[in-house]
Structure 1
Amino acid sequence: MTDTTLSRLPACRRHRLLKRIALATLLLSLAVPGMAATLRIDNSAEPGTLDPQKTSGVWEARIVRELFETLVSQDPEGEQVPGLASHWQLSDDGLTWTFTLRDDARWSDGQPVTASDAVFSLRRLLSPEIAAHNANLYYPIQNARAVNAGKANPATLGVHAVDDHHLEIRLERPTAWFLQAMAMPEAAPLPEHVLEADGERWVMPGHTVVSGPFTLSEWSPQDHITLDKNEHYYDAGEVALDEVILYPLEESAAALNRFRTGALDISYTSVPGGRFEKLRQELGNALRVSPLVAEYFYMFNVRPDSPLSDIRIREALNLATRREVITEQLLGMGQTPSYWLVPRVTSGGTQGELPMAQMSMNERMARARELMKAAGFGPNHPLGLTLRYNTLEDHKKIAVALAAMWQPLGVEVSLINTEAISHYAAIREGDFQLARYGMSATLNDPYDFLGSYTTGSSAARSSGYHDDTYDRLVEQSSEAIDPSARVELLTRAQQRLLDDYALLPLYDYVNTALVSERVHGWESSPMDVHPLRYISIEE
């Protein structure tokens, strides 16, 4: 068996953890008595829910990570560290994980967190009525796919509480990234005794019982959410913040102005691309820029009743898209023009690109016109398309630019702008033709992106995409043990998706955030995870 505990972490990671603990202890000792340490964050959008198994947006995940501790947690650099589980073991055949819960894990109502809570949570996560966004990440668990499809009772899921402190999870196949999935918010144990009593009200202030470093104190829709320090958290003594206030600001100019005045300590709303260089000079170290495992693309609705079910039109739109104009002239923040779905900074080395990636622009436009003519459209017989995007200055710029790039093909674009909640709700319902989409990794693994387009998964459900061969390649990649064989399968899967022009990729993200110099413990992370338990602020 392999075993993972704090004492067995590599020396460098153990040193970083001890150094952060020492810093937090020092800051706590210097705090002025009676003064609350309050952190104010622009969280970029209003959450649709705080139920960790029903969220889908990064702005929602930032909050639920603080409310619900996972068995496997993450440090500021995104490395896996013990959470509610003090340690875990994997059987020699790679099929059985055993998690040992820490003795001092408590819900915020004082009740102990048990292995039965973890079993309850995973069964709920895979139940079809929850429609969890990332349910496919847990398909390696025995019977998970059948449970999620409604073909098997949740009680048959391969999870078992050996006793109050030991959880056993049985897999159908060895899975390299499974431990990463257990660090995701949707996999956090949930308080069964509360959900049974309060139903849907359980994630509202006054009803929410949590296991994380913070509790839900206030939720004023479209205004703010307040989190208070959870005194029942197992590591509460090392949490430096007393209160966190999160604001759903979707307008980058408004967020920037608040940050300048000191009304915000951290802002996650994207920095306006056209003002990036000026802001870099003005804000200095407060403007943090780093690589991000995330992809910006447009999703096609490929259902039979959509004009984009025609691959000729999908290819033509990709051909006419000038990605370098978007990344260099509109944005200018170091984004990589993308001809793929899996960002190049993702671990694993997956390759593949759109077939037209190496063509000149003249060659691309000539072929695009031919394809549109063959599909029955052109300047004299235009194709009308609707394009959805969510509220943000740069999203609008890109949408307008795309409409102009496609106009010579005889494509007339009508823009539909809504706030993030409505935008993503429409995508989930398939109520779109073209829709702006941002996919931030929950796992630093190609499967997280490619798996979303397999039948029944989030992007496939929204877009209507389906290909049996693609599904098999992605599934085989999860079963592959040899790294080189796995890279080959993932590359073949991605290439098949791209040969099908199933989406319109634009660029690999970079992470931009505004972080006040008064904030300590915030680290750049390719997964954009910044646990508040490690953060402190100078008052």
Structure 2
Amino acid sequence: MKAFTFNRHVAALLLGSMLIGASPALAETVLHRGNAGEPQTLDQAHTSINIEEFILKDLYEGLTIYDAGGKIVPGAAESWTVSDDGTVYTFKLRDNGKWSDGSPVTADDFVFSFQRVEDPKTAAGYANILYPVKNAEKVNKGEVAVDQLGIKAVDARTLEITLERPTPFFLELLAHQTALPVSKASVEKNGADFVKPGIMVSNGAFKLVSHVPNDNLVVEKNPNHWDAANVKLDKVIFYPIDDQAASIRRFEAKEMDLVYNFSADQIDRLRTAYNSQVHVSPTLATYYYAFDTRSEPYSDVRVRRALSMAVDRDFLAKEIYSGSQIPAYSMVPPGIESYGEPSRADFAGDSQLDREDKAVALMKEAGYGEGGKPLAIEIRYNTNPNHERVATAVADMWKNTFGATVTMVNLDVSSHYAYLQEGGKFNVARAGWVADYADAENFLALSVSTNKTFNYGSFNNPEFDALMKKSYEERDPAARSKVLHEAEALLMQEQPVAPLLTQADLWMVSDRVKGWEDNAANQHLSRFLSVSE
């Protein structure tokens, strides 16, 4: 009996020492990220929404990146110089920059990647983001050969990019997901399959391990990343949950560390329960309704203006978003230093009652509403409780003001935007635009007639297009800002888009997460985060 007891103790000690020795390997540091929807794509050339961006920027690294505070810093390029006239950028790539397969990241990879985006055969929806690069627009329209794009490899570690004209925000464009590189060798070998787990070769802080659509997407630390020693996470699991209530339940059950875009009507309750873990961060983003100008009555500026005027934005901001967003009367949000105060719609200063009176008169003049043709409106929006509440409120406002019959259609976020970007017909559609870079042009260019991807309502106004063209040619910053203000004033007069709210980003951030910084760019790369028990 005594011998048995002794052996049992020895066995216990041995087992304990084995567990202690194994614990570092077993104790993975994992960040669980709620991501508000299933990505349409993991191909840089076809990405368009921020739930894709969050994943792609963990997997890939552009020439420049956003740091934890939302500031532009060196990424795959360790440094750069700019010519005196502001049109030639020369980037020095990092000597220790590697792809996840261990091969070097070269200037040729960036040349290949940029050419791939602009090649019309690729049909990249966001090709225009790189239009400041010399000949990019001509290449994208098939007017000149792809090899005429203003980008070249001076040597394996030196990349030269020539621009059409000085572009103050060019370094910010390079941090956009469209400008993320792909491995030339991988794409040429694997074709469209280069995005798949087990095949993808990436140069970011993480590499793709698995992807179960509508369930989870897993990335693991990339040991070949140049800054791997400072990446504190072993794994990040993205959960594509567009059910906001379900996301919050999983956060409260400690199953998720981050939740993006939760329901605003929960703010007060969540603040009471979780205090500083609730983050409401003002951002450069506009929540708007687009009108399909291709068909009546939305081809009539009087109808568009009347519908926009009748929307009580104060109600939306206070009652639906609990003060987390502010009423908007300009397409460009406030807070862009180079632009100043945006050009607001001429009815912005009127009381809501006065707006409604003017709206009724305009609608009557257009021949709709009481005593005129009946007004039947369909509002499209992407599935989300907040968007549903906004659509329901706006429908009620239009019904009460004009006697309109309003119906609603919703699709998941991927299907909703795919429908709009592919030119689907609609009456009124909910959309949101988050700044790709801090410049007014980024918001105003959405309504240029040649923007086939994001000009959802097919607005076509030669005067507006001419002003935007003039802004691209203007070298003086003050004069350029003046032209952009004129363009926005015209846009707000025409109302092909009705800005409703200036957005804030709503995040739940567990107190386990360290390194989080709220920022207007809404950039939160996992490589700058850590988790603690």
Question: Counterpart in 1 of 2:53?
Answer: 61
Q: Give the counterpart of 2:413 among 420, 423, 432.
A: 420
* CA apart distance, 1:458: 5.2
SS of residue paired to 1:413: strand
Amino acid at match of 2:324: G
Contact 2:333 2:342 in 1 (8 A): no
* CA apart distance, 1:350: 4.7
Contact 1:454 1:470 in 2 (8 A): yes
Question: Counterpart in 1 of 2:209?
Answer: 217
Question: Counterpart in 2 of 1:534?
Answer: 528
* CA apart distance, 1:375: 2.2
List aligned pairs for 1:256-405, cutoff 5 A: 256-268=248-260, 270-303=261-294, 305-348=295-338, 349-379=340-370, 381-405=373-397
SS of residue paired to 1:488: helix
SS of residue paired to 2:456: helix
Question: Counterpart in 2 of 1:81?
Answer: 73
Question: Counterpart in 2 of 1:117?
Answer: 109
Contact 1:135 1:457 in 2 (8 A): no
* CA apart distance, 1:365: 1.8
Contact 1:460 1:466 in 2 (8 A): no
Q: 1:460 to 1:211 in 2, by over 3 A?
A: closer
CA shift digits 1:257-286 (9 cap, x unpaired): 110110000000x23222222221211010
Amino acid at match of 1:493: A
List aligned pairs for 1:84-163, cutoff 5 A: 84-163=76-155
Q: Does 1:510 align with 2:510?
A: no
Q: Give the counterpart of 1:238 among 227, 230, 233.
A: 230
Q: Does 1:206 align with 2:198?
A: yes
* CA apart distance, 1:476: 2.7
* CA apart distance, 1:302: 0.9
CA shift digits 1:401-423 (9 cap, x unpaired): 00000013132111001111111
Contact 2:46 2:126 in 1 (8 A): no
SS of residue paired to 1:309: coil
> Following the alignment from structure 1 to structure 2, what is the Cα–Cα distance between the partners of residues 453 and 148?
19
* CA apart distance, 1:358: 1.6
Question: Counterpart in 2 of 1:469?
Answer: 463
List aligned pairs for 1:465-504, cutoff 5 A: 465-504=459-498
Give me the TM-score of the superposition, normalised by structure 2: 0.92
* CA apart distance, 1:173: 0.8
SS of residue paired to 1:463: coil
> Following the alignment from structure 1 to structure 2, what is the Cα–Cα distance between the partners of residues 82 and 480?
28
Q: Does 1:406 align with 2:398?
A: yes
Amino acid at match of 1:222: N
SS of residue paired to 1:76: coil
CA shift digits 1:488-533 (9 cap, x unpaired): 1111111111111111111101121000001001110101001111
CA shift digits 1:212-261 (9 cap, x unpaired): 01111111011110011111111111111011101111111111111011
CA shift digits 1:57-113 (9 cap, x unpaired): 110000001111101122111111111111001011111100111111111111111
> Following the alignment from structure 1 to structure 2, what is the Cα–Cα distance between the partners of residues 138 and 456?
15
SS of residue paired to 2:209: strand
SS of residue paired to 1:382: coil
Contact 1:134 1:457 in 2 (8 A): no
Q: 1:439 to 1:480 in 2, by over 3 A?
A: same
Question: Counterpart in 1 of 2:3?
Answer: none
Contact 1:452 1:458 in 2 (8 A): no
> Following the alignment from structure 1 to structure 2, what is the Cα–Cα distance between the partners of residues 478 and 443?
15
> Following the alignment from structure 1 to structure 2, what is the Cα–Cα distance between the partners of residues 32 and 479?
58
> Following the alignment from structure 1 to structure 2, what is the Cα–Cα distance between the partners of residues 57 and 460?
12
Equivalent residues, number? 507
> Following the alignment from structure 2 to structure 1, what is the Cα–Cα distance between the partners of residues 164 and 384?
43
CA shift digits 1:442-471 (9 cap, x unpaired): 101111111222232256542211222222
> Following the alignment from structure 1 to structure 2, what is the Cα–Cα distance between the partners of residues 375 and 420?
34
> Following the alignment from structure 2 to structure 1, what is the Cα–Cα distance between the partners of residues 329 and 125?
25
> Following the alignment from structure 1 to structure 2, what is the Cα–Cα distance between the partners of residues 535 and 133?
31
* CA apart distance, 1:474: 2.2
* CA apart distance, 1:386: 1.3
> Following the alignment from structure 1 to structure 2, what is the Cα–Cα distance between the partners of residues 259 and 439?
27
Contact 2:67 2:73 in 1 (8 A): yes
Amino acid at match of 2:249: N
* Identity across the alignment (%): 37
> Following the alignment from structure 1 to structure 2, what is the Cα–Cα distance between the partners of residues 475 and 527?
26
* CA apart distance, 1:376: 2.3
* CA apart distance, 1:340: 0.6
Question: Counterpart in 2 of 1:12?
Answer: none
Amino acid at match of 1:286: Q
Q: Give the counterpart of 1:455 among 436, 439, 449.
A: 449
> Following the alignment from structure 1 to structure 2, what is the Cα–Cα distance between the partners of residues 538 and 363?
55
Amino acid at match of 1:518: R
Contact 1:289 1:513 in 2 (8 A): yes
SS of residue paired to 1:174: coil
* CA apart distance, 1:481: 3.3
* CA apart distance, 1:34: 3.3
Gaps of at least 5 residues in structure 2 are 1-22
> Following the alignment from structure 1 to structure 2, what is the Cα–Cα distance between the partners of residues 418 and 198?
32
Q: Does 1:438 align with 2:432?
A: yes
> Following the alignment from structure 2 to structure 1, what is the Cα–Cα distance between the partners of residues 341 and 451?
20
> Following the alignment from structure 1 to structure 2, what is the Cα–Cα distance between the partners of residues 467 and 223?
44
Gaps of at least 5 residues in structure 1 are 1-30
RMSD: 1.5
SS of residue paired to 2:502: strand
Contact 1:273 1:394 in 2 (8 A): yes
Amino acid at match of 1:61: E
Q: Does 1:429 align with 2:419?
A: no
CA shift digits 1:185-222 (9 cap, x unpaired): 21122111111121111101111110001111111011
Contact 1:350 1:491 in 2 (8 A): no
Question: Counterpart in 2 of 1:44?
Answer: 36
Contact 2:69 2:519 in 1 (8 A): yes
Question: Counterpart in 2 of 1:252?
Answer: 244
